[in-house]
C-alpha cells in the first residue's frame, strides 16, 4: 500500500533549481526573490544588463541561513537557441535544473481594427514562441534527468475577452492551449506542464487603472473578491506547481483572478 502520510517536504522548494525568463523586474523578479528566500537556487534571464543588476539586488536584499543563490544571463526568448544558456548556467552553477517558469511577456493594447502587424507579431513571438522555446529547452534537459515542472504564465485574458486586447487575448489563449499540448506529450517523461492565469494584480503593468478615469471602479466591479490581487498570491500558485505537492497536476491552469473570469 502506498504511503499516504503527510510529508511537509513535498511543499518545499528548498534545494531545487528554478529558471525564470523575463525576470529583471515585475512578477519574474518577485518569483525569484521568494524562491531564493525559501532556499531555491534561481537562474533569471531578460533582454538586457538590468537582469544582472536584479540578481545582485536580490542577493543583497536577502540574508540568513538556507538562502538560495540567484544567477543571471541575457536571453532573447524569441530566439530558440538562447534558452539553452539558462540550462547551461543552471548546470554550471548548481549541477541541476528542476523547474522552469516561462514568465516573459508583452502586453500590446489596441482596438482589434487598429492592431498593427508589428503588435500581433510581437505578442505572438514573445508570449507564444518564447513559451514554446523555453519549454523545449527545459524539457530536453528533463527528459534525460527524470522529469521536472514547467509553469507557463497565461492570463485571465486567455479565459475571457476584454476590449482593446485582441493581440494579447489571442497570444495568451494560444499559450494556454500550448500548455495543454505540451502536458499531453511530455507527461510520459514525468514532465509536468501547467499554467497560471493571473487577473488584475498590483504590479507596474496595472498602474494604468489608477490613471485612467473610472478604470479602477470598473476593474473592481469585475472582480467578485472586490480587490486587486497581490503578487505573492500569484507566487503561491506558481510555487505549488513547482513542488512535489503538485506531482499529479499536469495540463492544468490555476486562475489567480479573484473570480473575475466568471464576470
Query: How far is 33 from 238, CA to CA, in rounded Å?
Result: 13
**Alpha carbons 185 and 193: distance in angstroms, whole number:** 10
Determine the number of helices (DSSP H) and then strands (DSSP E) in the chain. Answer: 9, 7
C-alpha cell at 175: 499559450
Backbone angles phi and psi of 11, in degrees to 5: -100, 10
What is the spatial distance between Cα 260 and Cα 199, in angstroms, rounded to a whole number? 7
Say whether 168 is catalytic.
yes
Instruction: Report phi then psi at 248, rounded to 5.
Output: -115, 20
11, 168, 210, 248: the catalytic one is 168
Helix (H, G, I), strand (E, B) or coil at 165: strand
Residues annotated as part of the active site? 168
Amino acid at each position: 500500500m502506498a504511503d499516504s502520510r503527510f510529508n511537509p517536504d513535498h511543499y518545499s522548494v528548498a534545494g531545487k533549481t528554478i529558471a525564470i525568463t523575463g525576470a529583471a523586474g515585475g512578477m519574474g523578479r518577485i518569483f525569484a526573490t521568494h524562491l531564493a528566500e525559501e532556499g531555491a537556487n534561481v537562474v533569471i534571464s531578460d533582454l538586457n544588463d538590468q537582469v544582472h543588476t536584479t540578481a545582485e539586488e536580490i542577493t543583497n536584499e536577502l540574508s540568513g541561513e538556507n538562502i538560495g543563490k540567484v544567477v543571471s544571463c541575457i536571453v532573447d526568448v524569441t530566439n530558440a537557441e538562447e534558452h539553452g544558456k539558462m540550462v547551461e548556467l543552471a548546470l554550471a552553477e548548481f549541477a541541476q535544473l528542476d523547474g522552469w517558469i516561462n514568465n516573459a511577456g508583452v502586453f500590446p493594447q489596441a482596438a482589434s481594427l487598429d492592431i498593427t502587424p508589428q503588435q500581433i507579431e510581437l505578442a505572438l513571438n514573445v508570449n507564444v514562441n518564447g513559451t514554446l522555446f523555453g519549454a523545449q529547452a527545459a524539457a530536453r534537459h528533463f527528459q534525460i534527468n527524470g522529469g521536472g515542472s514547467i509553469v507557463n504564465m497565461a492570463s485571465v485574458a486567455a479565459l475571457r475577452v476584454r476590449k482593446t486586447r485582441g493581440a494579447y487575448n489571442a497570444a495568451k489563449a494560444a499559450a494556454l492551449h500550448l500548455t495543454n499540448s505540451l502536458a499531453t506529450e511530455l507527461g510520459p517523461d514525468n514532465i509536468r506542464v501547467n499554467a497560471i492565469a493571473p487577473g488584475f494584480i498590483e504590479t507596474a503593468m496595472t498602474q494604468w487603472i489608477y490613471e485612467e478615469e473610472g478604470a479602477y471602479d470598473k476593474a473592481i466591479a469585475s472582480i467578485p473578491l472586490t480587490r486587486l490581487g497581490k503578487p505573492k498570491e500569484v507566487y503561491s500558485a506558481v510555487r505549488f506547481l513547482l513542488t512535489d505537492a503538485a506531482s499529479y497536476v499536469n495540463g492544468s491552469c490555476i486562475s489567480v483572478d479573484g473570480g473575475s473570469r466568471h464576470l
